[in-house]
Homo-oligomer: A and B are copies of this chain.
Amino acid sequence: MDAPMQTSRPDRSLLTAHEARLACRRGEITGSTAGLAPGHVQANLAVLPRDLATDFLLFAQRNPKPCPIIGVSAPGERRIPELGEDLDIATDIPGYRVWRNGELVEERRDVADLWTDDLVAFVIGCSFSFEAAMVEDGLPLRHVEMGVRVPMYRTTIPCRPAGPFGGPMVVSMRPLKPADAIRAVQITSRFPAVHGAPVHLGLPEAIGIHDLAKPDYGDPVRIGADEIPVFWACGVTPQSVIAASKPAFAITHAPGAMLITDRRNTEFAVI
């Protein structure tokens, strides 16, 4: 009469942020973190040697829209308590990239054995947070509708340099009808810690984008005749800035494999 025991995989979207991090740590989650721990901030990672940390912090302070830092580890520390009680920055992301002298040398599922007292981890806000607020408001996200990556473009907007870090701002683009674009400005303005308001809209040529159909990163998306392109500062900016500075050693997250934090997106709304 006994029913057979079922050992089905639990619904990933039902995991708490902490459970999702533990599942990543155990290697049970690989690849993209999209859809995990809904409502919680997912973030970019950049790990640098201590001697570059001050310049990178200065770069972020001078360029808060493309490089919004939401957490920093103490040198050598793998914990960042303000982002999660039990959070290990060297194991809790499902995919890492290791860089030497600006070259990608390895992809890994954890970087615990590479960690040294010399490293500082920077956690950088990501557009997932403001996109969640847009979706909540009923605004369409074309790249999500199309099931592709958001299109991203290098611009002629210069970042303010700091030490070895500098270069052009990278932007992501979402096409919207004008009234929706205005609403999107209002919504994303509430989230300055996760890129905030757009930096540009309409007139792509004015920021050095000559062909919207050919993004520098991500995938092209359809733009309706009744839509305008709206551009937000993008977290790819610090990644490209770090790569261009060719640090002896660096670690980043792998694309789409983000750090899931205990912080809620709504905590980052200023009003």
Q: Which residue of B is nearest A197, CB measured?
A: B182
A203, B185: Cβ atoms closer than 8 Å: no
User: Are A228 and B202 also in contact (CB < 8 A) when A182-B185, A185-B185, A186-B185 are?
Assistant: yes
Residues of A within 8 A of B (CB): 177-179, 181-182, 185-186, 189, 197-203, 206, 226, 228, 271
- A193 nearest CB across to chain B (Å): 16
- A229 nearest CB across to chain B (Å): 10
A179, B199: Cβ atoms closer than 8 Å: yes
Q: Which 6 A-B pairs have the closest CB atoms?
A: A185-B185, A202-B202, A202-B228, A178-B200, A178-B201, A186-B189
Q: Which residue of B is nearest A199, CB measured?
A: B179
Copies in the complex: 2
Give CA–CA (A182, B183) in the complex, Å.
11
Chain B residues within an 8 Å CB radius of A178: 200-203, 206
Chain B residues within an 8 Å CB radius of A226: 203, 206
Chain B residues within an 8 Å CB radius of A201: 178, 181-182, 201-202, 228
Q: Which residue of B is nearest A200, CB measured?
A: B178
Give CA–CA (A179, B171) in the complex, Å.
14
Give CA–CA (A271, B269) in the complex, Å.
14
Give CA–CA (A177, B202) in the complex, Å.
10
- A61 nearest CB across to chain B (Å): 20
Chain B residues within an 8 Å CB radius of A185: 182, 185-186, 189, 197
Counting chain B CB atoms within 10 Å of each CB, the highest count among A177, A200, A202, A228 belongs to A202
B202, A182: Cβ atoms closer than 8 Å: no
- A213 nearest CB across to chain B (Å): 19
Give CA–CA (A199, B177) in the complex, Å.
11
Chain B residues within an 8 Å CB radius of A182: 185, 197-201
Chain B residues within an 8 Å CB radius of A197: 182, 185-186
